[in-house]
């Protein structure tokens, strides 16, 4: 997605609890004094669907050189929806990179492992016992519960993205079909008019005999 040009409407999206709130709590615990900002614009979607592109930005941390800042682009039917997805992505990346610095507070239950790459296998009949992968990558039952939620979320997000691609492709095919249909209708009218003109001239020729 293209980087959003300014000026754009912007908001922190902190008036309702969600991932932007969790992100801000984690950042504030690390010394940030201003919450992340999200700017957005409405984008064109075929079929009359309202759609927004959002860019969330976490600036570099002045006192922590390794915290070089984050930028995430997302989209959704509302700016709030897209901002939640962007905040979720940045929060996961922060926890994966700096988990050792985030041992308490809001980030304590957020997995340090990538939910996509994490493979927590369980032996047959041992679902109640934490497997090797889970023990290695989860420090608490709360973190394990969060991993389960994140895996579900990411899987649903991937399915949603595939559906959106299929919808856009179907819309493009429909537009092409409608364009061809208009072209064929025009050709049919011209053919019909040509046939009519030929019949008219034929009638005139027969009349003059």
Q: Flag whether 71 is in a domain.
A: yes
Q: Flag whether 72 is in a domain.
A: yes
Spatial neighbors of 151 by CB under 8 A, at least 6 apart, are 115, 118
**Number of structural domains, the chain?**
1
What is the model's pLDDT at position 44? 79
Q: Flag whether 35 is in a domain.
A: yes
Expressed as residue numbers, the domain containing 18 is 1-110
Domain harbouring 28, CATH code: 3.30.160.20
Alpha carbons 32 and 55: distance in angstroms, whole number:
19
Q: What is the pLDDT of residues 139-191, one digit of tens each?
A: 888 889 989 988 888 888 888 888 878 877 887 888 888 887 788 787 777 77
Alpha carbons 80 and 9: distance in angstroms, whole number:
12
Alpha carbons 66 and 148: distance in angstroms, whole number:
29
DSSP, residue by residue, 92-143: HHHHHHHGGG--SGGGTTS-SS-TTT------TT-TTS--HHHHHH-SSHHH
Alpha carbons 107 and 90: distance in angstroms, whole number:
12
- What's the whole-model pTM score? 0.71
């Amino acid at each position: 997605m293209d980087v959003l040009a300014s000026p754009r409407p912007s908001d922190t999206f902190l008036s309702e609890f969600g991932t932007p709130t969790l992100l801000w709590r984690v950042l504030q615990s690390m010394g940030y004094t201003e919450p992340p900002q999200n700017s957005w614009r409405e984008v064109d979607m075929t079929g009359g669907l309202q759609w927004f592109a959002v860019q969330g930005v976490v600036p570099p941390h002045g006192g922590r050189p390794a915290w070089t800042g984050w930028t995430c682009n997302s989209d959704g039917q509302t700016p709030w929806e897209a901002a939640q997805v962007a905040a979720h992505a940045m929060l996961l990346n922060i926890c994966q990179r700096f988990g050792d610095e985030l041992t308490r507070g809001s980030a304590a239950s957020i997995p340090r492992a990538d939910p996509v790459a994490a493979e927590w296998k369980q032996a047959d009949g041992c679902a109640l016992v934490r497997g090797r992968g889970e023990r290695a990558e989860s420090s608490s039952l709360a973190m394990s519960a969060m991993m389960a939620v994140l895996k579900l979320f990411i899987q649903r997000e991937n399915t949603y993205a595939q559906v959106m691609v299929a919808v856009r492709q179907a819309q493009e095919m429909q537009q092409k079909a409608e364009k061809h249909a208009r072209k064929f209708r025009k050709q049919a009218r011209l053919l019909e008019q040509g046939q009519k003109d030929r019949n008219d001239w034929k009638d005139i020729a027969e009349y003059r005999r």
